[in-house]
Amino acid sequence: MPRRILVTGAAGFIGSHLTDRLVDLGLEIVGFDNLSVGRLTNLAHVTENPHFHFLKGDLMDPEAVRGVVGECDFIYHLAADPEVRTGAENPKKHIDQNLLATYNLLEALRERGTPTRMVFASTSTVYGEPSIIPTPESYGPLLPISTYGATKLACEALASAYTELLGLRVLILRLANVVGPRSRHGVIYDFINKLRANDRELEILGDGKQTKSYLHIDDCIDAHILALDDKLWSNRTDVYNVGSDDRIDVLSIARIVAETLNLNDVKFKLSKRTGERAWPGDVATMQLDSSKIRNRGWKSKLNSEGTIRKTGKQLKEELQNLQ
């Protein structure tokens, strides 16, 4: 078991849920976040815990990164710009917050020179538009269609290369669409906010036929916690898909969210004609083959529809409490 764990992006959606779980396990945790996307309120459950230490800082600041890696011998690297659509207007943000931030972290580890394990939160978007669905880790060539996916794939490659430069081992988790409480972007959050503003009509980006796999945050964190076990680490660099075994279309998600909000007469307005992308970089069909990690003990408790229904109820309650 690691002595001291660093979680980058600790105040973000996935990072804060992971931090909660790690602290509950009694582990010594250092949380690092620039709070550009994350919120300190996400860490309310752990701020008073003596096993948790929070440092506000930016991975774009090499000196701050060198300071925070300290004596941490295990790293969960989740800090990133999480919005795929950002790349259509500001590709540099993905270059900076995803790729250069990861480079600074890896350089700090190289300069420190002590053996380290790093879990990197990657994404299904590295596959681009694969011809094989469900898509296995062995699929190639990897041709992302968004700068988000491209920078995540570049981070994977860079981390793998650094395993040759120091005593570093890297475990890459390619995640499906992760949803749940504390999320402040994505289709469910957007639909709830749109319907709160206008409960008679809901605009759906795209043709409504996009079908994707959705993973509840609890199942996502289970996979991250499993990474503490040696059985996932067989090589210097290991890659695992993490997603549910099915997918659901956007129009069905819209109906479920409307039902969750007790709205019966919502008119659904599609922004695109059949076959047109919802936005630049949007992958219309995504489902990961997660048999590799399932064979090592992980399994999603919810399918995509169950994930959408649970998250809709959780976000509805959460947003009501914020009013």
User: What would the pLDDT profile of 172-208 be if each residue is shown by its tens digit?
Assistant: 999 999 999 999 989 999 999 999 999 999 999 999 9
What is the greatest pairwise CA distance in the chain? 61
Q: 319: number of CA atoms within 13 Å, CB side?
A: 20
pTM of the model: 0.96
Three-state DSSP state, 175: strand
Q: Quick one: what percent of the chain has pLDDT higher than 90?
A: 89
Report the C-alpha gap between 260 and 275 in whole angstroms. 28
User: What would the pLDDT profile of 74-133 be if each residue is shown by its tens digit?
Assistant: 999 999 988 887 767 888 999 999 999 999 999 999 999 999 999 999 999 999 999 999
Q: Which domains does the chain show, CATH number per domain?
A: 5-178+214-242 (3.40.50.720), 182-213+246-286+301-322 (3.90.25.10)
Whether 14 has a pLDDT exceeding 70, the answer reads yes
Report the C-alpha gap between 240 and 220 in whole angstroms. 12
Question: What's the pLDDT score for residue 87?
Answer: 65
Among the listed residues 76, 139, 148, 214, the single catalytic one is: 148
Query: At 68, phi and psi to the nearest 5?
Result: -80, -25
- Mean pLDDT, residues 241-253 taken together: 97
Report the C-alpha gap between 94 and 85 in whole angstroms. 10
User: What would the pLDDT profile of 251-275 be if each residue is shown by its tens digit?
Assistant: 999 999 999 999 999 999 999 887 7
Report the C-alpha gap between 13 and 10 in whole angstroms. 8
- Mean pLDDT, residues 158-175 taken together: 96
Question: What's the pLDDT score for residue 20?
Answer: 98
Cβ contacts of residue 269 below 8 Å, gap of 6+?
Answer: 201, 202, 203, 204
Q: Answer whether the bond into residue 136 is a cis peptide, omega within 30°.
A: no
Sign of CA dihedral 301, 307, 310, 311: positive
The question of whether 148 is a catalytic residue gets the answer yes
Partners of 121 in beta bridges: 173
Strands (E), 153-299: 168-175, 177-179, 201-204, 211-212, 214-216, 237-242, 248-249, 267-270, 285-286
